């Protein structure tokens, strides 16, 4: 369901509810509900999968989720397990590291994808081993990037 826009996903669940395990339907509906309620132009991060336990949100950038400034601070770093993009015109690029050089491992979340409900399915772009999920509990900064730019080498799903 992650490839389907939130509105269509909601419709699909309404129509196919009898065929979807209740736990899966509830979990996916949570990110869908959060997306509906999210502020336009903002990105969100959550401590747990399926958009449970809000960490923070921002219409700006933050080069260090572990410092004491900006929208994400202190214990927010290395905590996100699901993410959401309700931006108006840009995609969100998340980084394993910190700093305004915006270097190192990254993963992007598109507005079309809307949310990644479980980062244990996602790796940073420079992670080419066979393990999965290294983006989970490992995001430490983010910025908005133009969808026409070549900044994103991997996309969250
Ligand atoms: Ca910060």
Q: What are the tens digits of pLDDT across the range 100-155?
A: 999 999 999 999 999 999 999 999 999 877 777 899 999 999 999 999 999 999 99
Helix axis angle for 22-37 and 6-16, nearest 10°, is: 150
Tell me which CATH code domain 6-145 carries.
2.60.20.10
Whether residue 14 has pLDDT greater than 90: no
- pLDDT of the residue at 17: 44
Instruction: Tell me the CA–centroid distance for residue 18 and ligand 1, in Å.
Output: 43
Over 71-89, what HEC string results? CCCHHHCCCCCEEEEECCC
Query: Do 115 and 50 form a contact (C-beta atoms < 8 A)?
Result: no
Instruction: Tell me the CA–centroid distance for residue 69 and ligand 1, in Å.
Output: 4
Ranges of each domain in the chain: 6-145
* Residue entry with tokens 């290294």: 134
- Measured from the Cβ of residue 4, the count of other Cβ atoms closer than 10 Å reads 17
- pLDDT of the residue at 131: 77
- Its pTM stands at 0.81
Whether residue 56 has pLDDT greater than 50: yes
Quick check: helix, strand or coil at residue 104? Answer: coil
DSSP secondary structure string, 89-100? S-EEEEESS-ST
Instruction: Tell me the CA–centroid distance for residue 83 and ligand 1, in Å.
Output: 17
Say what the alpha-carbon torsion angle 136, 110, 84, 68 is, to the nearest 10 degrees.
70
Query: Do 94 and 139 form a contact (C-beta atoms < 8 A)?
Result: yes
Whether residue 43 has pLDDT greater than 80: yes
Whether residue 24 has pLDDT greater than 90: no
Q: What is the mean pLDDT of the chain?
A: 87
Instruction: Tell me the CA–centroid distance for residue 96 and ligand 1, in Å.
Output: 14
Mean pLDDT within 80-108: 98
């Amino acid at each position: 369901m992650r490839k389907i826009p939130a509105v269509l996903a909601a419709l699909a669940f309404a129509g196919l509810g009898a065929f979807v395990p209740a736990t899966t339907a509830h979990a996916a509906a949570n990110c869908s509900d959060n997306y509906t309620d999210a502020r336009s132009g903002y990105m969100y991060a959550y401590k747990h999968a399926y958009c449970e336990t809000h960490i923070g949100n921002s219409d700006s950038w933050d080069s260090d989720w572990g410092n004491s400034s900006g929208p994400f601070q202190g214990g927010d770093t290395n905590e996100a397990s699901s993410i959401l993009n309700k931006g108006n015109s840009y995609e969100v690029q998340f980084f394993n590291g910190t700093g305004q050089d915006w270097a190192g491992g990254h993963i992007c979340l598109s507005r079309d994808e809307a949310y990644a409900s479980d980062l244990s399915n996602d790796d940073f772009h420079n992670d080419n081993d066979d393990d999965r999920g290294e983006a989970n509990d490992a995001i430490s900064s983010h910025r908005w990037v133009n969808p026409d730019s070549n900044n994103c080498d991997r996309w969250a799903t």
